[in-house]
Each structure stands twice: as C-alpha cells, then as structure tokens.
Amino acid sequence: MAENSPQNRFESLKLTLPPAPKPVGVYKPALVVGQHLYVSGHGPLLPDGTLMRGRVGRDMDADGGKKAARQVALTMLATLLATLGSLDKIKRVIKVLGMVNCTGDFEKHPYVINGASELFADIWGTEHGIGVRSAVGMGSLPDDIPVEIEALFELA
C-alpha cells in the first residue's frame, strides 16, 4: 500500500465508522458495474447503529446538518470497505447527490453536503476526491434523517 494511498489517508484520520448498514428495502447498498461502484442512498448511521434524526432549519442549524452529512460519508465508507475491503480500490469520486431534509426557508444545501465532500477530498485528495455534485432540499427523508447521500465512484 502506497504511503499516500486513500486507505492510508483514511487510517491516519483515525475515524470511527458505524457498522455497514443493511438494506431496509429491496435494494443493494452498493453495486459494482464494470469500472464503477454505485452506492445507494445512505443516512447518518452512528457507531452504535442508531440514526441521527431531525430536520435542518428546525432541529439543527446548517453546522448540525454539515455534521450529519459527514456522518453519512462515514456510513458510506463503512459500506465501501465492506464491499471492496480497501479504499485503494477506488480511483475517484465521480458524482455525489446530497439530499437535505430541511425547512422550506433553508437555503444552505451545498454547505451541508460539504460535510461529506470535504471528507472524500481528505481521503482521495482534491483531484480524485471531488466529483460533480448536486445538493437539494427535501420536504422529508426516511426516518426523519437530516441528510441522505448517494454516490458513484470509479474503481482503480
């Protein structure tokens, strides 16, 4: 493993991951198709297996939403490691779709989703860790989670 590899950068951050979530519906958490890894929408699962809950703009501010998005990224990392065994098997982040459960007057969706994008950039670097992205507001999300994110990665 190269010294500056994604797996080494991840390990140097000494992050605590939640368990890789099990599907709560009829879908796969991650699916490899050719040189791509599609990751289903993930929520902010905590290390104890519970979900962060609440609406941004009502139960938490933009910073709380950003922390929830970072937790979603940690949850996705747990799925990536369960699926691939190493983050070195991912070449780059291609696309991120971030959905924010928020009040109608909330306008900082991109700021919230930066919580996930910044973590991906820390792991894969700014060249490969930042892909195209959408950050949108939703009237509700499953289980009243504050953020749901899905992503597409290119395999190494």
Show me where the domains of the chain are located.
32-155
Do 21 and 79 touch, CB atoms closer than 8 A?
yes
Specify the 3-state DSSP secondary structure of 102. Answer: strand
The length of the chain in residues reads 156
**CA pair distance 100, 68, nearest whole angstrom:** 10
Least confident of 3-12, 42-51, 101-110: 3-12
Contact 141, 148 (CB under 8 A): yes
Q: Give rounded-to-5 percent helix, strand, coil for the chain.
A: 35, 30, 35
pLDDT for 2: 66
Determine the topology of domain 32-155 in CATH: 60s Ribosomal Protein L30; Chain: A; (3.30.1330)
Q: Could you tell me what percent of the chain has a pLDDT over 90?
A: 97
| Token representation of residue 150 | 């899905």
**Arithmetic mean of pLDDT, 92-107:** 98
CB atoms within 10 A of CB 12: 11
pLDDT at 124 over 90: yes
Nearest to 116, CA basis, from 148, 79, 78 = 148
The 10s digit of each residue's pLDDT in 43-83 is 999 999 999 999 999 999 999 999 999 999 999 999 999 99
For residue 1, name the pLDDT band (cuts at 50, 70, 90). low
* The pLDDT value given to residue 143: 96
Look at residue 3 and tell me whether its pLDDT is greater than 80: no
How high is the mean pLDDT of the chain? Answer: 96
User: Strands (DSSP E) along the chain, which ranges?
Assistant: 30-33, 36-42, 90-101, 132-138, 147-155
